[in-house]
Amino acid sequence: MDTRMTLTLRQREAPPRRYHARIAAVPRDIHLAQALRHLCLVAMRGRAAQRGDPSGGQDAASDHILIEDRDGALAGSFRVRQFRSGRDLGDGHAARSFDLSALAALPGPVTEVAEFCAHPDADGSDVAQLAWGVLMTLAERQRACVLLVSCAFDGTDPDPHREAFAYLRANHVGSPEWLPRNAAAETVPLESLGRPCNPVAALRGLPPFLRHTLGLGARVSDHAVVDRTRDALDVLAVLDLSRVPRDRAAALRAIAPRLD
């Protein structure tokens, strides 16, 4: 019997109405997304800005999703890139830190998600839920079979995230045939952190976007990548869209039926 814990997300009867989503249409939109990313990942952490293009060319190759409140203020953003099959993932964001050779045999389109940020004044859980509504709508359009989701934990010290990482190791590490492998110089093996002692603390320690990702059945890498440039610990989640319950996917698409 599978004794692993499962993560259940509260279902809403109606989508959050305070936010709406749209695809960046002009350069100014992309600059807004980059400014929010700078606020969340650089300014609020007291770090110095990087020179050049911190995205390594990914911004130019991707679509950018903006989540705005009723007044048009930016509440969240993330980046999406479409690949024709698993063989093409070497050009993506995740391939800079993870060995994705186990996914090369995927025959259908793959959608990669990265750089999710929620404004500190926004409701991060509602922003994350709307983001997943957008992703389900885009996945249906692209007929994607898998979503790759890069999720960041604040800081490079794993100790504050010990409960959350131990929970991931005990319940959500992927199967070997799809497991993202180690390709980074510095990593934190999740198995080195023991078992979670406090499940409530573990769940609270997960970033909201990752909680939603796991709630849909995603599996994660067995290690976190230490990114000292961005002062983060990165975990890669893989979601097989064929395993998402149809009613759940439809409910999420209903949150973001149209994208401007």
Candidates 130, 131, 91, 133; CA nearest to 110 is: 91
Question: Does residue 243 form part of some domain?
Answer: yes
Residue with tokens 């996917």: 249
pLDDT for the residue 1: 35
Are the C-beta atoms of 116 and 151 separated by less than 8 Å? yes
Candidates 245, 246, 219; CA nearest to 4 is: 219
Are the C-beta atoms of 222 and 134 separated by less than 8 Å? no
Task: State the CATH number of the domain containing residue 96.
Answer: 3.40.630.30
Question: Does residue 2 form part of some domain?
Answer: no
Q: pLDDT tens digits for the chain (260 residues)?
A: 333 443 433 344 344 468 999 999 999 999 999 999 988 877 666 565 555 566 667 888 899 999 999 999 999 999 999 999 999 999 999 999 999 999 998 888 999 999 999 999 999 889 999 999 999 999 999 999 999 999 999 999 999 999 999 999 999 999 888 889 998 989 999 988 777 678 888 899 999 899 999 999 999 999 999 998 888 999 999 999 999 999 999 999 998 867 76
Question: Does residue 147 form part of some domain?
Answer: yes
pLDDT for the residue 46: 57
Question: Does residue 10 form part of some domain?
Answer: no
Question: Does residue 6 form part of some domain?
Answer: no
251 token code pair: 């409910």
Pairing of strands 110-118, 146-154: parallel
User: Which domain covers residue 110, as residue numbers?
Assistant: 19-255
Number of structural domains the chain divides into: 1
Question: Does residue 77 form part of some domain?
Answer: yes
Count Cβ atoms below 10 Å from residue 6 Cβ, excluding itself. 10
Question: Does residue 152 form part of some domain?
Answer: yes
Question: Does residue 13 form part of some domain?
Answer: no
pLDDT for the residue 107: 83
Strands (E), 158-212: 181-182, 187-189
pLDDT for the residue 198: 84
